[in-house]
Every structure is written in structure tokens, then in C-alpha cells.
């Protein structure tokens, strides 16, 4: 019985690691933004929240009741509208790094609903940004 729990625990951890993904900038492109998504499971959520201090922003995707959502399509643009990165977050948390500092636009889509936020990033304190969708 204990062996079955151990195997289950290992499989759950492997699944959580598989869900964490990143959208790296093009090689050598210093003008691109980078992000990594995850937060599947309590341990990974705690790690993301701890690691937020070394990133420009921690972005959270949730419902009004506080339940996390995943499968969010994200685009990050600079103040001039230039697309810096885009991808899909298969976890409810996103750590974001942008080139330089200033105003940026984060557009997110989930369940047929789209939202956008203009944010100030790149300061000494990481921003905490939340996108909240009504569950469908």
C-alpha cells in the first residue's frame, strides 16, 4: 500500500513539472519578454510565489471565488504595441520578465473571454497582477 502512495506521489510531481512551461525569448533578442507558467499543486504554487521576488511580475489567473484557472492565452506588448512574447499558460501562475522598465500591456484570454491590462513593470518591486474570469 505504501509503495502505491509513493508511486502516486512521484506521478503527481512529474505531472506538475510537465505542466510548467516557459516561452523563452528568441535567442539573442534582448527586446523580447520571457515568462514561465505553472503553479499546479501546492508545492509549485509556493515555489512560484517565492521566486516572484526575482522577476518583474507574478500574474495570477483565477475565478471571482478564488479558484485557479489554467489554459490561458497570453500576449505581452510594449507601450508602442510591439509584441514581446505570447503563449499559453497551462498553470494558474505566471512569472514574467520584460526588457527594461516602463508601461507594458498584458492581454489574456480564457474561456472565450478576453482581458487586457496596462501595467508598470521593471521597478525594484515585482508587480502582482490578477486576471479574474467568471466561470462558464
pLDDT tier, 5 (very low <50, low <70, confident <90, very high otherwise): very low
The answer to whether residue 18 scores a pLDDT higher than 70 is no
Rounded Cα distance between 73 and 88, Å, is 4
pLDDT 10s digits, 28-77: 455 688 999 998 888 999 999 999 999 999 999 999 998 999 999 999 99
What secondary structure letter does DSSP report for 68? B
**Homologous superfamily in CATH for domain 2-132:** Immunoglobulins (2.60.40.10)
Would you list the domain boundaries of the chain?
2-132
The arithmetic mean of pLDDT across residues 89-108, rounded, is 94
Listing DSSP states for 8-51 in one string gives HHHHHHHHHHHH-EEEPPPTT-TT--EEEEE--SHHHHHHHHHH
Question: Which of 3 and 50 is assigned the larger pLDDT?
Answer: 50
- The count of residues in the chain is 136
Of all residues in the chain, the percent with pLDDT exceeding 90 is: 65
Amino acid at each position: 500500500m505504501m509503495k502505491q502512495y509513493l508511486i502516486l506521489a512521484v506521478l503527481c510531481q512529474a505531472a506538475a513539472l510537465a505542466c510548467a512551461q516557459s516561452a523563452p525569448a528568441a535567442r539573442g533578442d534582448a527586446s523580447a519578454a520571457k515568462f514561465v507558467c505553472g503553479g499546479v499543486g501546492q508545492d509549485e504554487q509556493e515555489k512560484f510565489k517565492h521566486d516572484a521576488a526575482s522577476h518583474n511580475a507574478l500574474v495570477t489567473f483565477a475565478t471571482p471565488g478564488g479558484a485557479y484557472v489554467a489554459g490561458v492565452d497570453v500576449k505581452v506588448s510594449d507601450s508602442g504595441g510591439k509584441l514581446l512574447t505570447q503563449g499559453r499558460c497551462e498553470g494558474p501562475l505566471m512569472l514574467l520578465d520584460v526588457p527594461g522598465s516602463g508601461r507594458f500591456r498584458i492581454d489574456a484570454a480564457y474561456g472565450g473571454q478576453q482581458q487586457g491590462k496596462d501595467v508598470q513593470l521593471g521597478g525594484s518591486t515585482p508587480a502582482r497582477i490578477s486576471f479574474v474570469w467568471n466561470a462558464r
